[in-house]
Amino acid sequence: MTHREYWFWLCSITGIGSVSLRALLERYGTPEALWELSAEEVNGLSQLNDAQKRAFQESREEYAVRKRFDRMTMAGIEFVTLEEENYPKRILQLYDPPGGLFYKGQLPPDSLRSTAIVGARNCSPYGREVSRAFAKALAAAGIGIVSGLARGVDGYAHEGALSAGGRTYGVLGCGVDICYPRQNLELYLEMQANGGVLSEQPPGIQPIPRHFPMRNRLIAALSDAILIVEAREKSGSLITVDQGLELGREIFAVPGRINDSLSQGCNELIRHGATIARSPADLLSYPTGQDFGETEEKALKLPLDSSEKLVYACLDLVPKNIQGIVNQVQLLPPVVMELLDSLELKGLIREVSRGYYIKTGL
């Protein structure tokens, strides 16, 4: 077997994670040495528990390992070990970096400035618009967007980055050959051409709850800054933020309405010192020693007449039902509908779901 195949074997043993791996390598040096261990020596290992020892023994079948490695290569999945040059250096800052990473597409280059965007899976239309808009603006300024391909904020962040023709990377909680969640299949495919999807889980491993906090540490590690868009008080995204703080990453949080439970987590973070993100400019102009230039402000260049202004003024990023608009502007429904059409034509508003409208942009 080749050296990489030995690494591949070691990284693919079910139940043996990065911490155990690191302990084993510290003691024995190379994957080859571990492969050569006799059965009694394996049983005597203090770094592994019984289940892990069993898995270790069972996995040492050369033919099976090489076959799986070949199949992986044929499927277009790449593998990089932490010894190798192109292993993302940022991840090495972790206490427990994965021994190997599996990926499709590209790995985020060390030279690319990246921002992680995380947030609620069940985000509101406000969260959706914000994720997309921030990702788009940052990507347009040449920043790589890192997230988890999950439903909600993650997906919209990837989407926003792709729409600006930028690069975006998704860290998965399952094998890179599995697209989870299924509804993000299009994104999963598009990202491989404009960035990549990566995972510490070997191909074929299903997404299970235990994997997600593990992958969150990788998201935190791969980024230079973390933006959190919407999060409830006890949200999983806050774990990513904790990891980021440990690594010394800058934390940005998008504020929300004070009575909106979906923004409690974000508002709490801001209170405790996270930088407030009111627009992409807040991230771009942050003094990190690099000036990425101003993003264009979406100026209201198109003139609106007084009735259009009236309708536009009662909309914001929270969806509003057409009856709600009628109640506020006190005009007849057909008149309001005409005004909404005119505003939509000018790109200022959008119907997010039947009968509900929001302001577009920020």
Q: Which amino acid is at 30?
A: T
Strand, coil or helix: 103: strand
- Across 345-355, b (16+ Cβ under 10 Å) vs e yields ebebbbebeee
Stretch that binds other proteins, among 32-40, 47-55, 192-200, 326-334 (CB under 8 A): 326-334
Name the segment binding other proteins (CB under 8 A); options: 72-80, 94-102, 265-273, 344-352: 344-352
The yes or no reply on residue 324 touching other proteins (CB under 8 A) is: yes
Among 260, 279, 310, 362, binds other proteins (CB under 8 A): 260
Query: What is the distance between the alpha carbons of residues 238 and 189, in angstroms, rounded to a whole number?
Result: 28
Please identify, using beta-carbon distances, which residue of 220 and 348 lies nearer to other proteins: 348
Name 350's bridge partners.
Answer: 358
Task: With CB under 8 A as the rule, give the number of residues binding other proteins.
Answer: 36
Q: Which listed residue (52, 124, 199, 223) binds other proteins by CB under 8 A?
A: 124
Residue spans of alpha helices (H) in the chain: 3-11, 18-28, 31-36, 39-43, 50-59, 62-74, 125-140, 153-163, 185-193, 211-222, 237-247, 264-271, 280-284, 306-313, 322-329, 333-345
According to CB under 8 A, which one of 51, 185, 208, 332 is a site residue for other proteins?
332
Residue 125 binds to other proteins (criterion: CB under 8 A): yes
- Site residues (CB under 8 A) for other proteins, limited to 15-44: none
**Per CB under 8 A, does 323 bind other proteins?**
yes
Nearer to other proteins, 281 or 358 (CB): 358
Residues of the shown chain interacting with other proteins in the complex, contacts defined by CB under 8 A:
122-125, 127-128, 132, 151, 159, 163, 183, 186, 260-262, 319, 321-324, 326-327, 332-334, 337-338, 340-341, 345, 350, 352-356
